[in-house]
Amino acid sequence: MNHIDCKYYLATDAFKGLCKRTKNPVNADEPACSDFEKAPKCRHCKNFSAKTDFMGLCMHKVEAYPDMQALTCKDFTWS
Amino acid sequence: MDSKRTLSECTAYNYYGAQPQGEIQSREVKKSPSVRVDKARQLYFETKSSVSMEFPYWYTRRWEELEGEIPIVRRAEALKAGFEHITPAIFPGELLVMGKAHYLRGSYPMPWLSEAFFMAQEDEMYQDALQAGKISADEVTTMGQGGGNVTRSVGNVISIAGKFGLRKEEMPILLHIAQKWFNKSVDDVGHKYEQLVPGYKEKEEIMRAVICMFDSGYTLPQGREVMNYYYPLQYGIEGLKNICKEKLDQTAGHPDMDRLYFYRAVHIMLEGLQSWIKNHAKEAKLMASLEEDEKNRAEFLETVERLEWLADNSPRTFHDALQLIWILHVAVLNEDAISGLSPGRLGQVLYPFWKRDMDRGVLTREKTLELLESMRMKFTELDCFASMGVVGGVLSGNTFNNLCIGGLTKAGESAANELEILILESAMTCATPQPTLSLLYDEKLPEEFLLKGIECTKIGTGYPAWINNRVAMEFLLNNFKNEGLDVEEARAWSIGGCLETSAGSWMPLELDGVIHYIPGGSAPATSVGVHFISLPKVLEAVLFDGLDKRTGRRVYPSHGYKLDSYDKVWQAFTKYFSLTVEVLTLTNNIQHDVWGKISPSVINSMLKPDCLEKGKDISHKGSRYNRTFNVEVCGGVNLVNSLASIKKNVFEEQKFSLDTLKTAILENFGYNSASETGAYSLTGQMKTTNFMNWLKIHKQCLDAPKYGNDDPSVDTIFKEWQDYFSTMCRNYISLYGEPLYSCQISVSTHGPMGSVTLATPDGRLSGAAFADGSVSAYPGTDKNGPYALFSSATCYNHASSQNSQLNLKIHPSVVQGREGARKFLEMIRAYLRKGGFHVQFNIVDSRMLKDAQKNPGKYRDLMVRVAGFTQYWVELGKQIQDEVISRTEYAEI
């Protein structure tokens, strides 16, 4: 799992961000540390079914993408 | 430039006065921001422009769920869904929080406006758009190769338009969402109907030739206007919802039912804003829980409390007010592709809150300065996602948030205040491109205030621009009196975008039982109309009887004139110019009408007087003033210089025939074109083997009278052009039933538009940038000093146009010290007192710019003034960089 997958990742741009815990800069696509916790994303949601690596269905009817952040989605349920 | 020497022997610079010697001279004034803001600025420098698909995904999803709903309500629901789902981001150390997207320099595509841009190159829909000439401007635009631009795809990030980075995993959903808007976007629906305009085919050819830069009706449907923050400051968000509920009760079932839907839409949208704010409050709470430092944790908790309060209520303090203003500013930016959303006279809007806090002892000048610096960082982090031709070619990546200071109060007294002095100070300590500043000069302003403005101008970032308050008021009274604008209301004006004189109103802010009249914008976008027409390219079409020699295509029908006199040339020019304005007015009216029907403004409509009172959104003329469509042009000085050359060389002195001139133009006077050399100013060009064939005629063209030297032989042509332009615009009627007016700013169109224009009869070479602005001399041709330039510039009444634009470059040594400052202020006064509308400055040694071009890494924070905006040097395209370097540098005034 990479930093971009972590709950504590704060993206500054598409390449990199900060760790919310340490405030240190981290790169999105580099491996996360041992304090990693999964960020809520569609791919981890019970209501999401993947079709391809980059596309899937939400609630079995609406297109969604696996890496969309779901922190603000009221229907997000951990799978 | 010494015209006795060939171009290739000239130095890269043009000077008036003694050429600077020795070391490159830096600007005199150097200040630094607070530690926290300096860190924020460093973070900004390290951050790339990035786009996210969150907002457009949820917007589209909700939109599709509501098929059949009343359009404005459907729109509000879609906006609400977008806002509610933005992943909140609170960056450490921020005193003001929230942004357009979750990235620091974040934005997102809006396929509901236009989706053609996102289609893959091999996609047949993209090819269709290419055929329609829509993407021609994109093809001739270059982005800056450094700074925050994502210039190429790297790793898991895809570069879009050489500027924006998109995560690879979001590309499929982007294309999927874009496909959903095919034939439904404002662009597509507008295109369907604009083809009904007689002469539409000519419009396509005009766009393909890049005689016009972009379709204003949908590419930037809002912006270049002034915000009005009064309603949220006065009532708070929950208070505004209550107003909507009352209005809903009053209008439900009664005639003029559109009001019902408008109030419903505003209510829904406000709910979305509340969720957005509260999500950020929760995020701030999380950040507080993770924070080990007590002081930092306390700050996060203060942010929580502030956001939770402002989600419902009107502000209690200066900090609250600034935060709420920021939230609404971003909210409006998120409802459309918008550039030039100016905060207006923010120092006067915030002054009642600030004064109260200072009197109560809860705020200090130091804390105010830090808050204003933080505000500068937030504005600078803004990005605008539109097509490359717009973002790069027109805007140079800038977002044009113009903060005005000075001017007059409602009663006609000086409006300058202590908070504005601090705004100037923060612009020096935290020198960033945004917000740019404009000082509304009036004789009533105190000297101390003006000298502070001079001190700020000397830091070299190009602000404040100096604007003539009375000229602006005269323009507004002439153009808005039929809509009820009087002298008192005219004083409430401000600059929208980079330089659009915009009508405003005085709003009664009540604090502790006292009414404070604060100024705010009360007219909609001036980003619509006819934008931009390349005047030298129209003249080129005249010479070649309607052909675009670059593409070989016919743009206009044959003008039918035998060009055997200067008058015939001028008549042919006015024929083609008016044909251009006519067809573009009609097609842009349709595009903007379609925008209003399927993607109307909800948030900005709520804010703009008198939409809330009338129950009408902006596109239904809910605003107090609606005469906002204009005709913008670029390359005016090259046009005038070219006409002067034709008049003198061909017709008066008969040195060569028009046919010979045309051949010389096609041969580029014996030089390679700018695109071949990669140099876009007149200097630095390279000769071909038949250079000698054209040397004499080129010199004669270069030696012809040039604008900017107080020479009546060319200034009369300039005046004739100005009088014609300002008068003819009134013949064309906007979507809102009002005559258009002239607007004369180049932004950065003079670069890409120059790149597709052949050599011109004034001696300019093919592909070189035009003169910037509207009354700036062509680089190197202003040989008689600034006061001669001022005389040329003011040969016509500047109030006849929405603006005029003058850029001057001055060597730092000239304005050094107190004496230099005084001399500088007197020079500015002289120009404004002669009737000049606007002047702005680059205080810079041109050699520094050349060094920065070669070594961009050494100059990450170098900024220059282009034309109405300040931008980081490394983020400017080479066309504009070359043009700025070549501008005449005044080594004495």
- Three-state SS for B298? helix
Catalytic residues of B: 498, 500
Predicted local confidence at residue B392, as pLDDT: 53
Annotate B229-295 with DSSP letters as a single string: -HHHHHHHHHHHHHHHHHHHHHHTTSSSTHHHHHHHHHHHHHHHHHHHHHHHHHHHHHHHHH--SHH
Of the candidate ranges B77-91, B160-174, B289-303, B322-336, the one whose mean pLDDT is the lowest: B160-174
Q: Cα–Cα distance between B350 and B341 in angstroms, integer?
A: 18
The confidence band for B892, taking pLDDT boundaries of 50, 70 and 90, is confident
The confidence band for B386, taking pLDDT boundaries of 50, 70 and 90, is low
Helix (H) / strand (E) element for B501: namely strand B500-502
Question: A1-39: what fold?
Answer: Ubiquitin Ligase Nedd4; Chain: W; (2.20.70)
Q: Is B87 on the interface with A (CB under 8 A)?
A: yes
Interface test with A, best of B36, B58, B104 (most A CBs within 10 A): B104
Q: Is B175 on the interface with A (CB under 8 A)?
A: no
Of A62, A65, A69, the CB nearest to B87: A69
The confidence band for B15, taking pLDDT boundaries of 50, 70 and 90, is confident
Q: Is A57 on the interface with B (CB under 8 A)?
A: no
State the pTM of this model. 0.94
A chain contacts of residue B43, beta-carbon cutoff 8 Å: 12
Q: What is the mean pLDDT of residues B521-550?
A: 94
| C-beta pairs of B479-488 under 8 Å, 24+ apart in sequence | B479/B627, B479/B741, B480/B523, B480/B625, B480/B627, B482/B627, B483/B624, B483/B625, B483/B626, B483/B627, B484/B624, B485/B625, B487/B412, B488/B410, B488/B411, B488/B412
Q: Cα–Cα distance between B526 and B619 in angstroms, integer?
A: 13
Residue B287 structure tokens: 């950040």
Q: Point out the residues of chain A with pLDDT beneath 50.
A: none
Annotate B670-684 with DSSP letters as a single string: GB--HHHHT--SSTT
pLDDT of B1 above 60: no
pLDDT of B671 above 80: yes
Of the candidate ranges B414-428, B682-696, B727-741, the one whose mean pLDDT is the lowest: B682-696
Predicted local confidence at residue B861, as pLDDT: 83
pLDDT of B129 above 90: no
Q: What is the mean pLDDT of residues B865-873?
A: 82
B chain contacts of residue A8, beta-carbon cutoff 8 Å: 290
Question: A40-79: what fold?
Answer: Ubiquitin Ligase Nedd4; Chain: W; (2.20.70)
Q: Omega into B856 within 30° of 0, i.e. cis?
A: no
Q: Cα–Cα distance between B30 and B724 in angstroms, integer?
A: 45
Instruction: State how far residue B240 is from chain A, nearest Cα, in angstroms.
Output: 25
Q: What is the mean pLDDT of residues B645-659?
A: 98
ipTM: 0.98
Is A68 within 8 Å of B165 when comparing Cβ atoms? no
pLDDT tens profile A52-61: 999 999 999 9
Predicted local confidence at residue A27, as pLDDT: 95
B chain contacts of residue A29, beta-carbon cutoff 8 Å: 155-156
Mean confidence (pLDDT) of chain B: 92
The full set of domain ranges for chain A reads 1-39, 40-79
Q: Omega into B435 within 30° of 0, i.e. cis?
A: yes
B chain contacts of residue A15, beta-carbon cutoff 8 Å: 48, 50, 154-155, 157, 165
Predicted local confidence at residue B122, as pLDDT: 38
Predicted local confidence at residue A25, as pLDDT: 95
Is B104 within 8 Å of A63 when comparing Cβ atoms? no
Predicted local confidence at residue B135, as pLDDT: 44
